Structure 1
Amino acid sequence: MLLTALSAGTAWAQAEAPLAPEAAADNAAAQPGAIIVTGSRIARADLTSAAPITVVTAQDFALRGAVNVETVLNSLPQVVSGTTAFSNNPGDGAVTLSLRNLGASRTLVLLNGRRWMFYDTGQIVDLNTIPAFLIESVETTTGGASAVYGSDAVAGVVNFKLRKSVNGFEVGGQYGLTGRGDGRRYEIHGAVGGAFAEGRGHVTLFGEYYRRASVFQGDRDFSRTTFTDAFDDQGRGYFAPGGSRTIPQGRFFTPDGAGTNFAGLGAIFDKPGDPSRPFNKATDSYNYAPVNFLMLPQERWLIGGYADYQLNDGATVYGEFSYVNNQVAAALAPTPVTGAFVFDVAKANTVLAAADQLAVETIAARQLANGGVSAGQVKLNIGRRIVETGLRKSLDERNAYRLLAGIRGDLTDRLHYDAYYSFARTRNANMQEGNISHKAFQAALLDGSMNIFGPGTISKDSLEKISILAQNQTMSQLQVATATVSGELFGLGLGAAPIGFAAGVERRSVSSRFIPDTALSSGDVLGFNAGKPTEGGYDVTEGFTELNIPVVADQPLLKLVELHGAARYSTYSVKGIGAVWTYAGDFKWSPVENFTVRGQFQRAIRAPNVENLYGGVGDDNPSLTDPCATAAALAPGKLRDVCIATGVPAASLGQPTVQPNVQIPATTGGNPNLSAETSTSYTIGGIFSPRAVPGFHVTADYYAIEVKDAIADFGGGAGNVFAQCYLVIQDAGSPYCRAIHRNPRTGSLDGSLGPDGTVYVLDTRKANIGSFVVRGVDVQADYGRALNFSLTGAGQSKISATFAGSWTTKLEAYFGPGTTRLNCAGKFGALCKAALPTGQPQSTFKSTMRISYSDGPVLLSTAWRHLSQVRDDDPANTYVVERVGAVDYFDLALMYKLREGTNITLGVNNLLDRTPPIMGDNQEQSNTYPSVYDALGRDFFVALNFRF
């Protein structure tokens, strides 16, 4: 057994790292000498896997002071962070996990080998629902695993293994604080368990409370000011204070931009009644940064339990339950109100200086003459920050519970069965305050009861009239019923172990519903984005089988040859998916005891989720030029032919009736006709344990993942649909042209409804249009040895080291003809942010290393986290920051056993207080990418745990 006592960091299953002693004992009780590795349902005698598996131990979490699991997992080389505790905008209070930067929806999350509950219409797991203090280990495997686990395991699988049982009583807690005295966090947890019925049963109950204080962007120098790119006369770049042009004083200009001092960039009012003056971008822009959260506050209650009872020698019933209440808030700067509003001329002018009154009257007269407004009214474009309401606040309160019941046992001494049913439901309530009602705001301007000309001019009565609360709800449900038979068949001779197999059936039912606030979905709320109602679900029935075939063992140059294969047949109730096969095959060959060659191939799928299928259909109105409305469409040729073939009358070609408006109506949202995404992945590598260096193990694996038919907005957007249909492909039968539905009378896209139910719009709803390719090399190593001295008098000390690194050589995103194949490996910026599911920078090389020294009751450990440099992805634009250099973080922890069952752990993360790299115009938020680079600075924690 490798590193059972030595490991103070990551261990790797392919190097035969063991489970923790309790886990090994529990598994041995079920099947003596056998364990189950993530990526398979077959129990085996060792942990050597043909698939690269990274195992994070419970000790890793303790040494990082990790109450939330993403703290450790986001450091893994295979992982790129999704949403985190630093995702204020965008963010929804959830913490997600993304393998290989392919997105949370393509990473399957399991708990004890079973699907975990999701929280939204995207069917994504919120890691806040997993009890970190009960984690025994986390196993991560790369590549498609749909043949073993079903849909979603495209990028890989993350399996959280909880401790099987608790004997006695445990209680613990942790307190954390940044080096600047903020970001306080504290957690307390407890668990109690024991046997009953003369040892035939066991029950464990647990609970946890966690609270995290917020940190504002104004609390850090690097994020206190909104930075924008600027260049001097010599072209040298620097950061200039930036911000929003929507300001507390109000910014006003005419819709047509003609005449008067309200034209151009607009006029602002420093004080009520004072004359207006021109807006100055450099000095008047509103710095919204300080009042935005850098780290979100969180409060979580978690309770649960599990039990089992042996009915007889062949049957044991078991059950699990868990409940989580998680609350995460977000805070944004006060609501910006923008757009054109109508004022009553006389009432609006009661607070204006004489020159401004005259300007408004002049504008009103011109608009009346042009038929734009009614007599006595004027339309002005405004940009007014409603600071009087305070911050825009959003609170996501998530209640989630899961119940599971099953039965397992032995059919014979070589055959075993396991069947269970689980039910999970999540309800998320999103409360928003600090919003402004568009209708009420407009009404207050017309009746003259509200003064917006100047800062702090809106009265309390007016605020009550224009303010509006909004509430959205999301409800999700997952049901899983699975029955499996596994065991051993027969051996092939030549010293090989018997063939192992597993076979079973599974039935899953998925449903989700998003109910937006009526005012929000109608567009009346200013301050938060609107959402459309979404409701739907589907069922899938599956049959699966798996074989592990030891071919030969302990022969010359054939120490071990082993083959493994799996297949799954899935039938979906969604017509676009139907029936699909997934399959996998792999091998291991050890010519000698200390060297193994391995490889695997897998075909996986991701079924479209509820959001993809049934996401609320909404309208978009991009400003585009219809090629059939141009003079070029009049000339004989392919453009003219395709225009006519797609529904434009010949007499209308090149006429304004084809495009009466600058904006083209387009439809966005879900598509119930989607098919499944497919992926192929393979790895090839080896494991080496040199005899000359006892205790040293190294693995290296090349991996490649290709995802096809990836779901995205059709065509990459309305403009590209037009271009591909009429200017590039020029075939009316192409999918791009078929997405254009014209009014047969005029040839226009006018948004009207035809007699056959066709809506005359450009359809850009979700489609299987994209692809991703990821390639790279993973290297992992560990070393441990006993030392012949002890500083504490314990007799002997030990040292251990672990290393994990990953080179990403390719991370390509592509969304169909007419779009660019974008390689985001080693890149960051606007293009990759839009193309990648996470939008986060992808370092070419990422690594973690931990070195630990243990001596009696003392364990001292240090960790090194490394991210290689990244470069801006946009060659068409020059930014102040075109390159972010390599970043390194160092952590230090001390664990001390006070007595048997009582440990205290002290630690500091980001020991050298490294500030995150700062960017201007090509940042994500907080002038950086705060989910990738450490945003808090030096951070301390202390934890105390008791077992009785």
Structure 2
Amino acid sequence: MMRFNKGSLLAGTMMASAMIATPAMAQDTDVDPAIQSGADQNADTDNFITVTGSRIQQRNVETAAPIAVVEAEEFKLTGAVNVENVINALPQAVPGTTAFSNNPGNGAATLNLRGLGATRTLVLVNGRRWVSFDTNQIVDLNTIPQFLIESVDTVTGGASAVYGSDALAGVVNFNLKKVEGIEFGGQYSLTERGDGARYQMYGAIGTSFDDGRGNATVYAEYFNRESIFQGGRAFSASALGGETFGLPLQAFGSSTLPTARFNAPTEIGIVPDADCDIAGQCAPLADGLVIDDAIFDTPGVGRARAGDTYNYAPVNYLQIPQERYLLGGFADYEFTDGHRAYTEVTFVNNRVAQELAATPVTGTFNVDIATVAPFLDAASLAELNQLDANEAAASAARVANGLTALPGAELGVVRASLQRRVLETGARNTLDERNAFRVLAGVQGAITDNLNYDMYYSYARTRNANVQQGNVSRSAFQAGLDGTGDVALNIFGPGTLTPEMVDSFSITAQNGDVSTVEVAAGSVSGFLGNLGLGGSDIGFAVGAEYRRVTAEFIPDTALASGDVIGFNAGSPTEGAYDVKEIFAEIDVPIFETDGGVRLDLNGAARYSDYSLDNVGGVWTYAGGVQFVPTPGVLLRGQYQRAVRAPNVAELFQGQAIGFPAATDPCGSATFIGDNPGAAQTCIDTGVPAGNVGNAGAVQLNAQIPALFGGNPNLGEETSTSFTGGVVFQPSFVPGLTITADYFNIEVEDFITIAGGSLQGLLNLCYGEVQDINTPACQPFVGIRNLDGAITVDAPPLVSGVNAAELTVSGVDLQVNYRADLPFSLLTDTGNSRFNVNFLGTWTDQNDFTPVAGLPQVDQCAGAFGGNCGQPIPSFKWTSRFTWVDGPLTTSVRWRHLSGTDDALDTVDFAAFNGIERIGAYDLIDLTFSVEATENVTISAGINNLFDTLPGTPNIDANGIVTNRPNSLLLGDNQEQANTFPSVFDVLGRDFFISAAFSF
């Protein structure tokens, strides 16, 4: 069952070699590292380069927008085979879905820049759009060949004027290197606990030909990651919770048991001659019948349920398994002087599984007494007949009062709420196999001495085949209970379902996704002369782009009809749109003095004409300034106006059921007490007055079902961003660079569910709007059962709207210092060298307004949970110390997150031994790398050196958590595995060793 929440914000900055000084970076050179960073290595003979964030060929890479750069060496020193492991450690990135995203998760690794969401981060490879993997048009980082990465450039702030839609948060560009010769290698990783093995093998061959006019590189990789179950770690072996139900933190689990739970709805036990009010609510009968809420831990014998739960945690994946094959190549050839053709080809086969506990069958079913009678003892059967008589009499009483008869009220049939965990089917397992390919062909060259052209066409396609095991057919399960099926089902006890019974309702479900991205683009760039004030020539770029996006989700009949219990059912989705764009950029050096004082201005604009009626034609634009008042000091600032058109899923997604973690306000006595008028709104939407504030009656599980669907009437999102900062390189401290940048990004018409999430929509309706005739409350009207609970039988329908606003701001700081040391332990040269760098962000503001114009604002900076989702620390940094002594490189990395406070107002977690604050978090990593020969480098390292984990809870005989080792161990207010596993390390001490060969 999938869960949803809003991502979080982290930020970044500009500077060369953002993460680490490498032996290659320490070569003798007079070029400052800040000048090297962010540059396309394919510079032409005039030393012109193209910088991420611009299409203008320039003579330097200083830009008005902050750029953070990760060099290839960082991937080697962290032992990171998957791109996500390095990128998510950067302060400007927040973890999206990762290797630890089992539920929720989709088998992909995504990038969430600034916490604005993966859909608002544009991912490029070699400066061009990459492959998206689903109807949300998001790039799966698993498709990028990590071993070929030369650098990763991150441009923060909107970049739509340069690159088009999706770049509200910024752009991340992966630059791949050309290979000369042969490179191959491999890596093996294993946790201290002996599990979660990961191994990689790769190879690349590249060569120049025809006297250097051409170059070609081909490459291949195999990667395998083994699974770890939550039962493999003490902190995640028990599903903790209970606080949202007003219970002390405990081994809580699910109320859907393998022994079956028979819970008769309120209407079954009503007094036959009771007065029913106009809404149809009747007084309950205190009949003392055990089977009115019974479990059957002894086959056929019911007993009153006493808080019994099922621990689903151990059989859920903690680390999801993955197997990947990657093939590709790129080449270019100067077919005539000054004109070069180029091409890129990539194919990726990626297989990722997810595994959950056995299917929980829940809902209201008609139970034919004669069919199930052989499976019940005499006492339970007698009570079932009594409930049947009560129901029939109650139905007659309703009819006499002018109300409708109760469904299933005929004698011999009981309509009951059933819950049965069908362990007999085995665990739920889903396998995603994605085949993605991308082809690109282009040509570039010189028109004149001052003018260059570049045009290309690319086509990318991803097809995902998803196979689900362990699902249950709701209709077949019903048929086995009401006597219409060929096999009667014995659900009354553990292990009572025979193989024949299991076969009668088990189904294998399948679905597929197909996504394509087609781009045709051309541009002309060059120089127009200078202003005669000592500045360089004016640079410009103009061009046009055509882009077409298509995506579809193809479920089988069982999924599309909603007959599936287990994994989430969903309706087909299909949609497409295209956009025609023209764009222009200009860079104007105003002046430059002999003393180094310099002033540059730049601007960019793009007009986009979308085929979507509610978007149409939109403008994006940007302007920036760079000023050097004295050598060693650069002041810079930029303003950007960016847009994002809604994606195919947001527009056209068919209805799909989901199970977000949420607290129903109508079951929270605290919420009712804090919000006058909420109780009446609960009653108006169908909660019996006696159940208002009673979590046990209104909400049986921590997850609430809801239907999510697209909205074809969506318009574009818009953002405005300001960045301003300073780069300081003092001449009196050679090797020191300090950068500081302020950022402020505000997104308007933010597409999300009204209220920001199902939880936010519930809070909005019952806490603020309190009017059932409004769009905020309509999803909850007429769907609750007679207890007032929201169930899978009638989940609310919600869809995205252009209603929210999100504002993020803060300061990025980076300090880098490198120097030579006058000693060496391993060589006779008498010196070594070291590098210390710090990359951090202070997040001042992360304010999410679920509905613009209403007073509710979720202030998420320094908070976690609720609409804020993953922890958003006020301070996050990554720092590294590296010492290079001859052939040996020793490097230590320190990752830090400041503490965060609970953002969910509806539950007082501290009152129930829950966590209201997650403390500061630190990880230390250690790596050694040895150049064994000129052609062989061996690296080994330990990540999470001090084995920092959420810790093992102490659980007493009654299941109560009596002590927790640290604040990383959470209950109901978590994502999965009792914590936030994409934020906090869940593997523990982790070892890796790798070898790289080049000839």
Q: What is the match of residue 365 of structure 1? A: 389
- Supply the distance in 2 between the matched residues of 1:354 and 1:882 (Cα, whole angstroms): 50
1:856 to 886, 890, 908: 886
Equivalent residue, structure 2, for 1:278: 304
Alignment partner of 1:938 is 2:989: yes
Distance in 2, Cα, partners of 1:117 & 1:2:
27
The answer to whether the aligner puts 1:66 opposite 2:104 as a matched pair is no
Work out whether residues 150 and 176 of structure 2, in 8 Å CA contact, stay in contact via their aligned partners in 1.
yes
SS at match of 2:980: coil
Deviates more, 1:132-141 or 1:526-535: 526-535
Tell me, yes or no, if the aligned pair for 2:625 and 2:638 is still in contact at 8 Å.
Answer: yes
Task: State how far apart, in whole Å, the 1-side matches of 2:553 and 2:612 are.
Answer: 19
Secondary structure at the counterpart of residue 899 of structure 1: coil
- What is the CA–CA distance in structure 2 between the aligned matches of 1:748 and 1:690, rounded to whole Å? 69
Residues 445, 739 of structure 1: CA spacing in aligned structure 2 closer, same or farther, 3 A cutoff?
closer
Structure 1 residue 620: deviation in Å?
A: 11
CA deviations 1:199-227 (Å, max 9, x no partner) are 22111110000000000000001000111
**Distance (Å, rounded) in 1 between the aligned partners of 2:715 and 2:549:** 16
Does the Cα contact within 8 Å between 1:308 and 1:319 map onto a contact in 2? yes
- Greater CA deviation, 345-354 or 205-214? 345-354
Structure 2 partner of 1:670: 710
Equivalent positions of 1:97-176 (< 5 A) are 97-163=111-177, 165-176=178-189
CA distance in 1, matches of 2:610, 2:161: 15
> What is residue 799 of structure 1 aligned with on the other side?
834
CA distance in 1, matches of 2:625, 2:32: 16
Equivalent residue in structure 1 for 2:362, among 312, 325, 338: 338
> What residue is the counterpart of 2:962 in the other structure?
none
Matched positions, count: 875
Which of 442, 447, 461 aligns to 2:500? It is 461
The alpha-carbon deviation at position 255 of structure 1 amounts to: 1.9
CA distance in 2, matches of 1:711, 1:374: 47
Q: Is the 8 A contact 1:109 1:159 kept in 2?
A: yes
Change (3 A) 1:527 1:551: same
Distance in 2, matches of 1:769 and 1:541, equals: 27
Q: Does the CA contact (< 8 Å) of 1:276 and 1:356 recur in 2?
A: yes
CA distance, structure 1, for counterparts of residue 76 and residue 665 of structure 2: 55
Quote how far apart the aligned CAs of 1:338 are.
1.2
CA drift at 1:20 = 8.4
After TM superposition, the structure 1 = structure 2 runs for residues 880-899 of structure 1, keeping only pairs within 5 Å, are 880-899=914-933
Q: What CA distance in whole angstroms lies between the structure 1 residues aligned with 2:782 and 2:933?
A: 80
Q: Which residue of 2 aligns with 1:222?
A: 235
Q: Does structure 1 conserve the Cα–Cα contact (< 8 Å) formed by 2:290 and 2:383? A: no
- Aligned in 2, Cα 1:238/1:346: closer, same or farther, shift over 3 Å? closer
Unpaired stretches in structure 1, ≥5 consecutive residues = 626-661, 742-746, 751-760, 834-839
Q: Which moved more, 1:615-624 or 1:291-300?
A: 615-624
Q: Secondary structure at the match of 1:276?
A: strand
Task: Give the direction of change, closer, same or farther, for the CA distance of 1:397–1:618 in structure 2 (3 Å limit).
Answer: closer
Counterpart secondary structure, 2:651: helix
- In the alignment, which residue of structure 2 is the partner of 1:184? 197
Call closer, same or farther: CA 1:762–1:889 in 2, change over 3 Å: closer
Alignment of 1:248-263 (within 5 A): 248-256=258-266, 258=269
Q: Is the 8 A contact 2:161 2:622 kept in 1?
A: yes
Which residue among 24, 34, 38 is the counterpart of 1:17? 34
% identical equivalent positions:
49
- Letter in structure 2 aligned against 1:337: V
- Structure 1 counterpart of 2:250, one-letter code: A
Change (3 A) 1:31 1:548: farther
Provide the residue aligned with 2:547 in structure 1.
508
Deviations 1:619-666 (A, max 9, x none): 9999999xxxxxxxxxxxxxxxxxxxxxxxxxxxxxxxxxxxx9xx99
| 2:846 equivalent in structure 1 | 811
Shift of residue 706, structure 1, vs aligned partner: 0.2
State the distance in 2 between where 1:298 and 1:206 align: 20
- Of 479, 496, 510, 1:471 maps to 510
Distance in structure 1 (CA, Å) of the matches to 2:254 and 2:18: 56
Contact 2:821 2:834 in 1 (8 A): yes
Secondary structure of the structure 2 residue equivalent to 1:674: coil
Contact 1:679–1:706 (CA<8 Å) still a contact in 2?
A: yes
| Residue 705 (1) aligns with residue 745 (2) | yes
- TM-score w.r.t. length of structure 2: 0.83
Distance 1:882 1:357 in 2: 47
CA gap of 1:206–1:90, structure 2 versus 1, over 3 A, is same
Match of 2:320 among 257, 276, 296: 296
1:847-881 per-position Cα deviation (integer Å, ceiling 9, x unaligned): 00000000111111000000000000123421110
Q: 1:542 to 1:11 in 2, by over 3 A?
A: farther
**2:622–2:638 contact (8 Å) kept in structure 1:** yes
Cα gap change, 1:398/1:891 in structure 2, threshold over 3 Å: closer, same or farther?
same
Distance 2:513 2:461 in 1: 11
Name stretches of at least 5 consecutive residues in structure 2 with no aligned partner: 1-14, 270-285, 396-407, 667-697, 699-704, 785-794, 951-967
Which structure's relative contact order is higher, taking Cα pairs within 8 Å and 6+ residues apart? 2
Per-residue CA deviations over 1:880-933 (Å, capped at 9, x if unaligned) read 100111000000001101111210000110001001311112111100000000
Partner of 1:404: 440
Q: 1:245, CA displacement in angstroms?
A: 0.9
SS in 1 for 2:567: coil
Contact 2:232 2:314 in 1 (8 A): yes
For 1:404-483, list aligned pairs within 5 A: 404-447=440-483, 449-483=488-522
With over 3 angstroms needed to count, the CA separation of the structure-2 counterparts of 1:290 and 1:45, relative to structure 1, is: same
Amino acid at match of 1:167: E
TM-score with structure 1 setting the length: 0.87
> Residues 253 and 262 of structure 1 are in contact (CA less than 8 Å); yes or no, is this contact kept in structure 2?
no
Distance 2:708 2:248 in 1: 39
Deviations 1:598-630 (A, max 9, x none): 1000000011111111122579999999xxxxx
Letter in 1 for 2:969: I
- Alpha-carbon separation, structure 2, partners of 1:620 and 1:56: 37
Selected match of 1:822 from 852, 858, 866: 858
Once residues 167 and 892 of structure 1 are traced to their aligned partners in structure 2, the CA distance between those partners, rounded to angstroms, is: 31
Alignment of 1:592-611 (within 5 A): 592-611=630-649
1:671 aligned counterpart, secondary structure? coil
* Paired residues of 1:574 and 1:672 also in contact (CA < 8 A): no
Letter in 2 for 1:705: I
Give the secondary-structure state (helix, strand or coil) at the position aligned to 2:224.
Answer: strand
Give the conservation status (yes or no) of the 8 Å contact 1:897–1:904. yes
Say which is worse superposed, 514-523 or 129-138, in terms of deviation.
Answer: 514-523
Which residue type is aligned with residue 976 of structure 2?
Q
**1:560 shift after superposition:** 1.3
Q: Could you tell me which amino acid in structure 2 is paired with residue 324 of structure 1?
A: V
- State the SS of the aligned residue for 1:87: coil
With over 3 angstroms needed to count, the CA separation of the structure-2 counterparts of 1:18 and 1:298, relative to structure 1, is farther
Contact 2:570 2:655 in 1 (8 A): no
| Per-residue deviation, 1:812 | 0.8
Q: 1:762 to 1:342 in 2, by over 3 A?
A: closer
Amino acid at match of 1:932: V
